Amino acid sequence: MLMPDGAMQDFALTLDRILDHAARWHPDTEVVTATPGESQRIGYAQLNARARRVSAVLAERGVAQGSRVATLAWNTQAHVESWYAIMGMGAVCHTLNPRLTADQLAWMAGQSRAGVLIASADLAGLASDISARTPTLRHVLIIDGAAEIGEALEPLLVRSNGEEVVWGQFDETLPCGLCFTSGTTGAPKGVTYTHRGNFLHTLRQLQADVAGITSRDVVLPVVPMFHANAWGLPFAAPATGAKLVLPGRHTDGASLARLIAAEGVTIAVGVPTVWLGLIDHLDAVGGEVPSLQRIMVGGAPMPPALMERLEARGIEVQTTWGMTELSPLGTATPPGAMPRDPAQSGRPAIGMDLLLTDHKGTPLPEQRGAEGHLWVRGPSVVERYFGKAELATRDGWFETGDLATIDDEGNLRITGRAKDLIKSGGEWINPAEIEALVGALPEVSLAAVIGRPDAKWGERPILLVELRDDASPSDEALCAPLHGKVASWWIPDAVVRLDKMPLAATGKIDKLRLRNQYSRP
């Protein structure tokens, strides 16, 4: 008679378990929110209890497993509570970006058919506008302060008299989140996250060669919770018991410098423009942030000059690459890796695989040392966009739209976006290469290259720059780094100086706006 095989417990990878873990094993570790005056503080155990009471408030308003609840808020304690309240009860948290217009956000909320919107008090006017344009929205609940409460708005009161809602006890493949892509290069698409995907993403993120967060760290996610899950940090910090510091609405250099110094932040995460504001402020006032050991940067190429300024202050810069469709982390340079190259994005951790192909999608015979179109696969990679019947993958691989190389050690280098390539005289020009060379100049804060229609060549590149204060290099000086490094016909035909580079809602350079404004001949 055959003996039965052994078995492991059926332990669903649902996100409620992350906050429950933090509440049990790190109950007093703080979650801090920057507010005017004294910062708001709470321990993981108390935050867990409050989040469960928010679930009861939502249940009273008809939210159930599978319901979609929209949020319109900054990185705050109340927003974190709302996240876990929504996801813990099996509903779907649809984050809305408050830097978009009411029409854009109403379209997204209408797509998801959200019945409840949770909004920051200082965004109550925008929330009302969204509600008026979205027939499915029945309730708008206000967090993070008092607002002028009208017929369409009500405060989210965390009460204890509501019937407790059971968390978890559902399939780990259930959707937990919805985020629309930034739309910097095309129309926004909805990406649905699952509990299993985000749980595995968290475990991958916590590896020593990725974020390497420990219970001794103080983590500051400047990347917003309304974009790609704040890169997963509201899950990663409680998963390891790290102190979580939330900046609220104000992420200018002065506000961040004060917060980092006051709370002893060791790891901070955000796009390059955020760190440009921080370092400019520190240079201007002679300030220091001695606790800050490491900055994780992604979302856009890291300007070499900015990296040098940060590292000159003893702050390690860890470059990464990812996308909303990847939940979002794809690759990362290991902490402490030397030498650090701002153009390098590191290696993938277990659970993420990379493939380079030609323009037709045929895998390159040699994956190392050749440039190709980048495809990815893994348990936290999108398979189908929200509301779409067709797959977003081919043979199990998702096409990122990026051009890339992989070196002999497996390090990824993004060399450009396929959609950004400029075709001039039948040949391709890669803006990213020009931007990296010009962006290395100490006088340049930000650089962008776009194509402009040309009667003879089809398209020609133009260079747009935001200069550092008091810098006034000539056109020739700005283009000088290109000579001998790129083909002569890649040299931009014109240079445009901008007082402020336009940024998309996620902090990346908004090339759509640049093309609309400057691509006319």
Q: What is the pLDDT of residues 265-278, one digit of tens each?
A: 999 999 888 999 99
91-107 mean pLDDT: 93
| Listed range (71-80, 153-162, 216-225, 497-506) with the worst mean pLDDT | 153-162
Task: Judge whether 341 lies within some domain.
Answer: no
What value does the mean pLDDT of the chain take?
A: 93
> What secondary structure does DSSP assign to 51-119, as a single string?
HHHHHHHHHHTT--TT-EEEEE--BSHHHHHHHHHHHHTT-EEEE--TTS-HHHHHHHHHHHT-SEEEE
3-class SS letters over 16-46: HHHHHHHHHHCCCCEEEECCCCCCEEEEHHH
User: What CATH code is carried by the domain that includes residue 245?
Assistant: 3.40.50.12780
Q: Write down the pLDDT at residue 188.
A: 82
To the question of pTM greater than 0.85 for the whole model, the response is yes
| Listed range (68-82, 231-245, 433-447) with the worst mean pLDDT | 433-447
172-182 mean pLDDT: 94
Token couple for 93:
């948290």
Q: Write down the pLDDT at residue 119.
A: 97
Q: What is the pLDDT of residues 394-436, one digit of tens each?
A: 999 999 999 999 999 999 999 888 888 898 877 889 998 899 9
* Domain of 501, in residue numbers: 421-518
Annotated catalytic residue: which of 30, 263, 325, 435? 325
In angstroms, the CA 436 to CA 431 distance is 9
pLDDT of residue 514 exceeding 60: yes
In angstroms, the CA 413 to CA 368 distance is 11
Task: Judge whether 428 lies within some domain.
Answer: yes
- Of all residues in the chain, the percent with pLDDT exceeding 70 is 98
Q: Write down the pLDDT at residue 287.
A: 93
428 part of the active site: yes
Looking at the structure, tell me whether residues 89 and 232 fall in a common domain: yes
Annotated catalytic residue: which of 173, 288, 311, 423? 423
> What secondary structure does DSSP assign to 366-396, as a single string?
--SS--EEEEEESTTS-SS-TT-SS-SEETT
Q: What is the pLDDT of residues 454-481, one digit of tens each?
A: 888 888 999 999 999 889 999 999 999 9
Which of 367, 400, 416 is the endpoint of a domain? 416
Task: Judge whether 337 lies within some domain.
Answer: no
Q: What is the pLDDT of residues 476-497, one digit of tens each?
A: 999 999 998 888 889 999 999 9
Looking at the structure, tell me whether residues 385 and 441 fall in a common domain: no
Looking at the structure, tell me whether residues 382 and 233 fall in a common domain: no
181 part of the active site: yes
- Report residue 150's pLDDT band, with 50, 70 and 90 as the boundaries: low
pLDDT of residue 505 exceeding 80: no
Looking at the structure, tell me whether residues 198 and 300 fall in a common domain: yes
In angstroms, the CA 471 to CA 482 distance is 19
Q: What is the pLDDT of residues 19-60, one digit of tens each?
A: 999 999 999 999 999 998 899 999 999 999 999 999 999 999
Q: Write down the pLDDT at residue 289.
A: 97
Q: What is the pLDDT of residues 331-353, one digit of tens each?
A: 999 999 877 788 899 999 999 99
Looking at the structure, tell me whether residues 427 and 325 fall in a common domain: no
Annotated catalytic residue: which of 362, 419, 428, 489? 428
Token couple for 329:
């982390």
Looking at the structure, tell me whether residues 495 and 373 fall in a common domain: no
pLDDT of residue 76 exceeding 80: yes
Q: Write down the pLDDT at residue 149.
A: 60
Looking at the structure, tell me whether residues 388 and 438 fall in a common domain: no
374-379 mean pLDDT: 98
423 part of the active site: yes
CA proximity to 213, closest of 88, 329, 61, 307: 329
Phi, psi of 46 (to 5 degrees): -70, -35
| Omega of the bond leading into 221 within 30 degrees of 0 (cis) | no
Annotated catalytic residue: which of 71, 76, 181, 405? 181
1-13 mean pLDDT: 91
Q: What is the pLDDT of residues 309-339, one digit of tens each?
A: 999 999 999 999 999 999 999 999 999 987 7
Which of 371, 395, 416 is the endpoint of a domain? 416
Looking at the structure, tell me whether residues 249 and 298 fall in a common domain: yes
Task: Judge whether 50 lies within some domain.
Answer: yes
375 part of the active site: no
Which of 269, 303, 332 is the endpoint of a domain? 332
User: What CATH code is carried by the domain that includes residue 376?
Assistant: 2.30.38.10
The angle at the Cα of 510, spanning 284 to 35, to the nearest 5 degrees, equals: 50
Q: Write down the pLDDT at residue 300.
A: 79
Task: Judge whether 40 lies within some domain.
Answer: yes
Cα separation values, 153 from 64, 123, 460, 518, Å: 21, 11, 51, 41
Task: Judge whether 139 lies within some domain.
Answer: yes
**Identity (one letter) of the amino acid at 458?**
G
369-389 mean pLDDT: 96
Task: Judge whether 3 lies within some domain.
Answer: no
Q: Write down the pLDDT at residue 343.
A: 85
167-178 mean pLDDT: 98
Looking at the structure, tell me whether residues 155 and 104 fall in a common domain: yes
3-class SS letters over 463-510: EEEEECCCCCCCHHHHHHHHECCECHHHCCCEEEECCCCCECCCCCEC
Residues in the chain: 521
Task: Judge whether 9 lies within some domain.
Answer: no
Q: Write down the pLDDT at residue 473.
A: 95
CA proximity to 437, closest of 380, 477, 392: 477
For the chain, the domain total comes to 3
In angstroms, the CA 55 to CA 87 distance is 9
In angstroms, the CA 310 to CA 31 distance is 26
In angstroms, the CA 8 to CA 3 distance is 16
Looking at the structure, tell me whether residues 169 and 244 fall in a common domain: yes
User: What CATH code is carried by the domain that includes residue 498?
Assistant: 3.30.300.30
Looking at the structure, tell me whether residues 268 and 323 fall in a common domain: yes
Looking at the structure, tell me whether residues 61 and 29 fall in a common domain: yes
